[in-house]
Amino acid sequence: MTAIDPTAHLTAEQIEELGRELDAIRDEVIAGRGEKDAAYIRKVISAQRTLELVSRGVLLFSFFPPAWLIGTAGLSVAKIMDNMEIGHNILHGQWDWMRDPKIHSTTWEWDHVSPADQWKHSHNELHHTYTNVIGKDNDLGYGIMRVDEDQKWHPFHLGQPLWNFINACFFEYGIAAYDLELGKNLHKRRRKNPEFRARAKAVGRKIRKQVLKDYVIHPLLSGPSFLTTLAATFTANLVRNIWSHSVIMCGHFPEGVQVFERRSIKGETRGQWYLRQMMGSANISGSRAMHFMTGNLSHQIEHHLFPDLPSNRYAEVAVKVRALFEKYELEYVTGPLPKQVFSAWHKVFRLSLPNKKPKVKTPDREQELVAA
C-alpha cells in the first residue's frame, strides 16, 4: 500500500493469467514428487540426528576448549537444521504426501519452546493466509514493532530496535508468546479463558521439557563439564535464535516489500492472492549451503506462493517464478543476507520514529512561515 502501487500496470485478466501460470508450476512439481524427494528429507533428518548426537557426545568433554568449540558449533547447526529445513517445512505439510506417519505435519514436534500445533495455527494459518495484511497478519512486526509507514506510530515504538534485539536473542520464547497472542490475552478476563489456559499450559510443559533437557540433564550427564556444557547449550540456542530471527526478518521486512490494507483482500481472487504473496515477500541470494541453512526460506517468495511444496524444490521453482516476475514487470526483491538483514534493521530503526512530514509545502504552511 505504498504511495505508488507497483502492480498498477496489470489488468485483472493479466493477474488471473499470472495465477494460472503459477498453478501450472505447482502442478508440475506435484506431479514430479517422488523417491528422490523422500530420500532427501530422510537423509536430512538422519544427518541432523547424527550431528546432534555426536555434538552432545563431544560436549561431554567440553571442559576441554576445542571440544567445547566443536560441540557448540555442531549443536548450533543441528538446532538450526531441526527448526529450519526440517521442522518448519514438515509442519507446513510439505512432506505429508509421503504418508509416513513419522514425517508428518500432524505428528512432528520440534526443538523449540512453541508446541508444533500452536505454531502451525499462527504461522501456517494466520500468517500464510493473510500475508502482510495490516491488522490481520501479526507477523508484521510481531505486535511489538512497526515495520511499515502505514502502521500507526506509538511512543512505545521508540524502543523497537531494543525490543527487536531482545526478541532475536530469545526468539523461540518470543515465538511461543506470539503464538499464545500473549499481548492480547494477558487482560484479566481473557487470562481466565479455559482455551487460553490450556494453550498456556501446553507451552509451559514444552518449555519445561526443553529447559530440563538443555540446561539440566545434558549438563548433569557431562559431570565435570557441567558448566561448560550449560554454556554450550545456551550458546547453541542463542546462535539458532539469532540466525532464525535474521532469516525470518529477511522474508518480509526488507525495503521494497509491500503491505496491504485489510479491505484490499475482500473477495480476493486466486490470482490476486498469488500477487500479494509475490509482492509481500523477499528472498535471500546465496550458495546452496546458505539456502539449506535457512531451510530454503531464502526462497521466501516461492515458499509463500507454494507453502506446501517440498523445500528441496524451491530452487528450481525460483527460476520459473523469477521469469514470471520479469514477464509481468514486477520487482523480485532479493539480495545477499548481510544486505537484506541491514535493510530490515534499517527499517526497524527508521520506523521507530514517527513518519517524516511530507516535504511538499502546503499553502497553509507557507503562510505560517511568512507570518513568522
Partner 1 sequence: MTSATLRSGAWKLLEMITTPLLPSDYLDLVSPLRAGADLRGRIEAVHPETADAATIVIRPGRGWRGHTAGQYVRIGVDVDGRRLWRAYSITSPTNRQDGRVTITVKAIPDGKVSNHLVRRAKPGTLVQLDQPTGDFVLPQAKPAKVLYLTAGSGITPVMGMLRDIDFDDVVMVHCAPQPQDVIFRNELHDLVTAKKLRLTEVHTDTDGMLDIARLGELVPDWAERETWACGPAGLLDAAEEFWSGHGVGERLHTERFRPGIVVAGDGGEVTFSATGKTVDADGATPLLDAGEEAGVLMPSGCRMGICFGCVTPLKAGAVRDLRTGEITEAEPGVLIQTCVSAAAGPCDIER
Among 14, 16, 29, 49, binds partner 1 (CB under 8 A): 49
Q: Does position 212 bind partner 1 by CB under 8 A?
A: yes
Among 7, 76, 83, 105, binds partner 1 (CB under 8 A): 105
Phi-psi region at 132: left, alpha or beta (left = phi > 0; alpha = psi -120 to 50): left
**Cα–Cα nearest to 283, from 264, 263, 256:** 256
Q: Least CB distance from residue 189 to partner 1, whole Å?
A: 25
How many residues touch partner 1 (CB under 8 A)? Answer: 47
Pick the closer one to partner 1 by CB: 191 or 213: 213
Cell numbers of 97, please?
A: 504426501
The per-type count for the chain, helices as H runs and strands as E runs, is 19, 0
Stretch that binds partner 1, among 117-125, 172-180, 238-246, 337-345 (CB under 8 A): 117-125
Q: Does position 121 bind partner 1 by CB under 8 A?
A: yes
Contacts of 292 (CB under 8 A, 6+ apart): 85
**Cα–Cα nearest to 244, from 146, 160, 173:** 173
Determine the 3-state secondary structure of 260 from DSSP: strand
Determine the 3-state secondary structure of 195 from DSSP: helix
CA distance 78 to 84: 10
Among 12, 57, 64, 125, binds partner 1 (CB under 8 A): 125
Pick the closer one to partner 1 by CB: 113 or 247: 113
Pick the closer one to partner 1 by CB: 157 or 313: 313
Pick the closer one to partner 1 by CB: 29 or 166: 29
Amino acid at 132: N
Q: Does position 2 bind partner 1 by CB under 8 A?
A: no
- Looking at the DSSP assignment, which residues form a beta bridge with residue 133? 260
Neighbours of 279 (CB within 10 A): 24
Stretch that binds partner 1, among 5-13, 211-219, 229-237, 247-255 (CB under 8 A): 211-219
Residues 258-287 that bind partner 1 (CB under 8 A): 273
Q: Least CB distance from residue 52 to partner 1, whole Å?
A: 9
Pick the closer one to partner 1 by CB: 216 or 353: 216
Q: How far is CA 361 from CA 4, 302, 364, 369, 372, in A?
A: 20, 42, 8, 10, 15
Pick the closer one to partner 1 by CB: 310 or 335: 310
39-54 burial code (b ≥16 CB/10 A, e <16): ebbeebbeebeebbee
Q: Least CB distance from residue 8 to partner 1, whole Å?
A: 25
Q: Which residues bind partner 1 (CB under 8 A)?
A: 23, 27, 30, 33-39, 46, 49-50, 53, 91-93, 96-102, 104-106, 109-111, 120-121, 124-125, 128-129, 206, 209-210, 212-213, 217-218, 221, 273, 307-308
